[in-house]
Amino acid sequence: MKKAFAKMLIVFAAALLIGAPQAAQASDLKGELEIFSWWAGDEGPALDALIEIYKKENPGVKVINATVTGGSGVNAQAVLKTRMLGGEPPDSFQVHAGQELIGTWVKADRMEDLTPLFKEQGWLDAFPEGLIKLIGTDKGIWSVPVNVHRSNVMWYIPANLKKWGVQAPKTWDDFLAIAPKLKAEGVVPLALAQNWTANHLWESVALASMGADNWDALWAGKLSFDSPEVVKAWELYGKVLQYTNSDASSLSWQQATDMVVDGRAAFNIMGDWAAGYMSTTKKLAPGEGYGWLASPGTEGTFMFLADSFGLPKGSPHRDNAVAWLKVLGSQEGSDAFNPLKGSISARKDSDLSKYNAYSQSAAKDWNSNRVVGSLVHGVAANDTFKNGFASIMEMFLKAKNPQAAAKACAQLAKKAGI
Amino acid sequence: MREASLDKLKAFLTLLPSMILVGVFVYGFIGNTIWTSMTDWGGSGAMALEPQKHFVGLENYIDLFTGFLGGNFRQDLVNAVYYSVMLLAGAVGLGMFIAILLDQKPKGEDLLRTIFLYPMSLSFIVSGTIWRWLLAPQGGVNVLPKYLGFEPLTFKWLSSQSAVLVFNWQDILRILVYVAAFILILVGVFKLKKDAGRAMKRWLIPGIVLGALVWVFGSILPDALFMEEEHGFNLATLGIIIATIWQYSGYTMALYLAGFNGISQDLRDAAMLDGASHAGYYRHVAIPMLKPITISAVIILSHISLKMFDLIFAMTGPDNAATGHPALNMYLTTFRGNEFSKGAAIAIVLFLIAAMFIVPYLVGQYRQQGRR
């Protein structure tokens, strides 16, 4: 009996000895960490991979994964807003990098400046300069980007194009030249889905029409929304719309992509989550099964959007939240998350061998192209503008009046403080 | 005497908590919303701990009804009117029709009643998803004729861009006066039989004069907008109206069926004995007797039509001007656009419209009670 007790003691001591160095490595943070996001379903595993890393490094912290489902955070943002107004912020919350964060939360003085963290972790060099400019103001840097998606991509099926005898257009003029031919063959030249994808198409067309410099000037308030450049963009957009499907408003973006895959439509402009959809769900090989180009007229420009996490003022477990942000910005966290999410890492030094062919090409462009912000996905403009733009788009889809749309945008911009 | 006042005190104390709760959480919040709708709470500083709010009076309302950027709200308002009218006519009419059929006591009446009532138990989001599939351009309803060897339909139930009964919002004042004149004349015609002189003086002549005045001098009335803005009955709303009628006609059916069963068999026999046909019995005896049921069905359904949200969200998505609804617009304006004051203004407009249905009913009820 005594012997057994001694044995147990020895085992216990040994366990302590082996365990001790590990315990020293892991942080001694305690308490809870509430992470607020809209990543569920397909995107859940990617978030879990990050939480896994966090738990390994901070075993003492109980992670609460507060997810509110709903595409691009429609529902989550409403819940978040009521929580923040009620004085009950989560420890860290997901938000699209850029004006969606700055125009709403930073302007309201609800966020902590993360510049010290960026300096301490050496992130100022790890992330591209253009990106840091878009997630920061002259008062600081406001979020840690976890991933980067590209918005201006045109998708097609190479075999179908060969069958119809057309080539993927490099400019919108090229597109307008081949579109009637496709239409005559009973093929929809450009597949479109519900409202937000129309906005998505608009930003690609407008970027091509006015160029990256004017695009940036527009959001900096240096180019007015009723200037001839913008009116021209609306005119071009109206022309492109003629070649889209008429049942667009009842389709989801996946259904629009399906039209391309099934050969009912020739092209589709969609963000690069479409690559994930076609590779994973439709089992097409990137490059052979499906092809892509920068959307017409925007080659050399990378229109980006990024999911990021910020640190609200009054976060109940601030230290735990800072440790969470460190995981998000690290190379390890980034490369665990992004291959699962189908996006690329915002860091310049990510391990490209972990990504598929499309992501590798996107990562190459990310490092070499001019980076501009997306409107629809919260980088370029704040919530007020974005919400108003959706109704201006509906007005335009009905009346097709470029002048009126441009004027309405100008009024909206004034109201939104651009 | 003493005991009575003690009873009164007890009753008062029992009611007090709920009076306070209702006072704060219903009327207090209504007041707060009205106050919010008259401020400029919104924009980039909306989320601050202590947001800057300034009193701006009715500016938000003026913006909604005549502002350049309020076009979507106006379309939503027009849609809401059509939703209400069609839902009321459809659900009450269909429900009554089914109830009359079931009142003939067919075989398996219990089972049929359950089947018709069942859609009510589904949530709007579920039935919305089902109907979205059924009404998809290349699915469900549209491919039905194919099974019979015909060409499939091509009607876009949920995504049609065309509208009928289009009018120009610029003329809204003129149109409203015409409507008022029309109602006056209509009431006058109905009252003509009872008291011709009074009907003429009170209703018909003012109505005709008002109509004529607008006809001749209409151009003096100011334009609501500086440009033309056309709204109408969007054909894409048909799909949503069908789904709502499907879901609620079972409910009105249950109401009417209960009412029909409550009418004594003697009355029916008496009517038949007097030579009334089936149709005559319902038209002249049963349905007039069920007027209270019709009124409560109308009130409940008009409420529902003003709160339409999840069904539209599920069937056509949040941003679809053709099928929009003020309630949806309010949610998006407030929680997506951060325009709290404007969202509050939309809420108050909806509240006033709901009151338009409820208040006359309540007044009528109180009057009846007073008479008794």
**DSSP secondary structure of B56-100:** -TTHHHHHHHH-GGGHHHHHHHHHHHHHHHHHHHHHHHHHHHHHH
Q: Do A384 and B44 touch (CB under 8 A)?
A: yes
How do residues B221-239 score in pLDDT, each as one tens digit?
777 777 778 888 989 899 9
Residue B151 maps to a domain: yes
Residues of B in contact with A196 (CB under 8 A): 319
Chain A residue with CA closest to B48: the answer is: A108
Provide the shortest C-alpha distance from residue B157 to chain A (in Å): 9
Cα separation, B42 vs B56, whole angstroms: 12
Residue B55 maps to a domain: no
DSSP 8-state class, residue A243: T
Best probe of the A interface among B226, B333, B336, B341, by most A CBs < 10 A, is B336
CB A35 within 8 A of CB A90: yes
Chain A residue with CA closest to B340: the answer is: A384
Residue B188 maps to a domain: no
Name the helix (H) or strand (E) containing A159: helix A158-164
What's the domain range around B34? 1-38
Cα separation, B155 vs B175, whole angstroms: 31
Chain B residue with CA closest to A81: the answer is: B335
Pull the structure tokens for residue B63: 């913006």
Residue with tokens 């076609």: A278
Q: Where are the domains of chain A?
A: 31-149+305-373, 150-304+376-416
Q: Do A81 and B72 touch (CB under 8 A)?
A: no
Cα separation, A327 vs B365, whole angstroms: 65
How do residues A393-410 score in pLDDT, each as one tens digit?
998 998 899 999 999 999
Check which CATH number belongs to the domain holding B119 and give it: 1.10.3720.10
Residue spans of alpha helices (H) in A220-278: 228-241, 253-261, 273-276
pLDDT of residue A300: 94
B144 and B5 within one domain: no
Dihedral (Cα; A248, A249, A254, A255), 10-degree rounding: -50
B339 and B285 within one domain: yes
Report which of B276, B305, B301, B315 is spatially closest to residue B140, judged by C-alpha positions.
B315
Residue B75 maps to a domain: yes
Dihedral (Cα; B79, B80, B86, B88), 10-degree rounding: 180
Q: Do A194 and B45 touch (CB under 8 A)?
A: no
CB A305 within 8 A of CB A146: no
Q: Do A393 and B319 touch (CB under 8 A)?
A: yes
* Banded model confidence at residue B173, pLDDT cuts 50, 70, 90: confident
The whole-chain average pLDDT of chain B stands at 88
- Percent pLDDT > 90 in chain A is 69
Provide the shortest C-alpha distance from residue B204 to chain A (in Å): 40
Quickly count: other Cβ atoms within 10 Å of residue B36's Cβ. Answer: 21
* Banded model confidence at residue B23, pLDDT cuts 50, 70, 90: very high
| Ranges A60-74, A180-194, B125-139: which has the least confidence | A60-74
Q: Do B337 and A196 touch (CB under 8 A)?
A: no
Cβ-in-10-Å burial (0-12, 13-18, 19+) of B249 comes to buried
B260 and B141 within one domain: yes
Size of interface A-B (CB pairs under 8 A): 124
Architecture, CATH, for domain A150-304+376-416: 3-Layer(aba) Sandwich (3.40)
**Buried-state track B167-178, b at ≥16 Cβ within 10 A, e below 16:** bbbbbbebbebb
Residue spans of alpha helices (H) in A351-401: 357-368, 383-399
How do residues A291-333 score in pLDDT, each as one tens digit?
999 999 999 999 999 999 999 999 999 999 999 999 999 999 9
Residue B47 maps to a domain: no
Report which of A308, A313, A314 is spatially closest to residue A373, judged by C-alpha positions.
A308
Cα separation, A218 vs A227, whole angstroms: 10
Same topology, domains A31-149+305-373 and A150-304+376-416? Answer is yes
B357 and B292 within one domain: yes
Name the helix (H) or strand (E) containing A145: strand A144-145
B75 and B4 within one domain: no
Residue B171 maps to a domain: no
B318 and B272 within one domain: yes
Q: Do B339 and A384 touch (CB under 8 A)?
A: yes
Residue B105 maps to a domain: yes
B158 and B26 within one domain: no
User: How many domains does chain B contain in total?
Assistant: 2
CATH of domain A31-149+305-373: 3.40.190.10
| Residue A111 near chain B (CB below 8 Å) | no
CB A306 within 8 A of CB A131: yes
| Residue A195 near chain B (CB below 8 Å) | yes
